[in-house]
Structure 1
């Protein structure tokens, strides 16, 4: 095991994949010589050459469109979009081409492509650098959507995504990249200069897509979440003193419904937590599935805790995030049901 930040774990996954498979290439804005805006691809061009790790024009539509053609040709492109907020020009290419290529060609072509995007807030990036658009991808048949919450999973999930024969959207919570995070967004101890290190296995390993993880066992309620909010959930549960089970989805699509329903049927209560806006957020889908599959086991309504239904408020970022206090109130409410 090695101690790594999420950035270092993601970089390690790139290095291993490129070392073991000459068909893996990395492309995007500033990913080459500079090593990416968050340095996730630092050193790859120097090690593997400019033919396998290269900079592209500032055109997300062009980047993703070219990558789809490269993937159809037989290579395995790993695309970096600098911020998830920038992916909208490429959304048509992702939805209309990448997601449908296998089906529209009756299996003659596939699209083994990974699109990496730093997502979410927590770094005071404002409205155009802080969005959480995961629900836009989970709605699209043909795509897989991944959101890691720690360095160990980030590496294993990225290696699994690169090995997958179909397109994978890989959303990286930028708040977890390299800052210590105890679940509270407003504590002065948070220093962007420090690294949040985690135990990461060295070498090649795959964390299977579609498998959730119970990060805290409990009997009183089930708290379903992913990404940055895993840390918020753990902080809230610790401070509440309640015996709540916390599940990290890790992969939103395919969704590990078996893990979710097994937990909720045992506890009888469920809270779904995410930082994206509430209306039409991915939590609505989870809540609907839990209600349908666990109705006769539920002791209280399924609750959702999420971001505000407003454009991202730069000046009120700390209040926008569902912090431990809001989660604690939800725990108290669901326990009263």
Structure 2
């Protein structure tokens, strides 16, 4: 496993790129050239090995989100076309998987402050991935996938072809305009959506779902486990749904019990459901016995009512929307990934 490249602080990014390149290319002679005032990029370096010489054109970005990387890539690609034997490179404090993919696809090199680096020219290949996110980036992701913010993501992913205004999107997600504005801006930075003349449209639903799934865990919701003497999970689910409806209580199946109604693939005898309300009252009405282990009925108290967004009713039984169902299933240990992938194939289409 490659050792982490020691990169300078963000404020010293431009000053430290030469040292980084020398560490990445120890068998080459790397020297900095003066970058003319007319240049559209930030730094120029010469890389020599014997008689082979290559110029590196480096653009430094203070933020490594895909939106800003795309701008840098456009500048560098034009510059490298006008400068023979040059290779474009982007440098930033942190470049995440989406940004790395964007650079590789454009055949542009990159390096960042956490040890990620990719250079590919003249038979030279440097490919290092640290897998680490700096604290600031982690905090931004937590905010993006927080309970309130994620309401915007559900609305977008459940209706991926829909065009929105900010006001309509905020109303749909039942959040403030300010929160919607912050979330939309963050998604635009990551090039998950585009804004044109006030219209908002999702661009990469699959990539957004993948990033959310990577940062989602079902154990953020409080779970209570019970045992039911009913042998048929479908019958139990129907009784749970009927009781919740009679009490005007938000309720929706999830995990395998929900998937069995939406995209059957994996069999399970357990029932999992989100419930907002008197859980003890539900247990009493359905004759559920609380247990520590060995239960077959699991009632989850959600950390936000967003889990009930676009609840679907199948055979008179409420089930969470397909986006929520996929998120819950993906990391569930009992064949959850298999069922999630089948659900995605059958119902999500991205």
- What TM-score results when the alignment is normalised by the length of structure 2? 0.28
Larger radius of gyration: 2
- What TM-score results when the alignment is normalised by the length of structure 1? 0.29
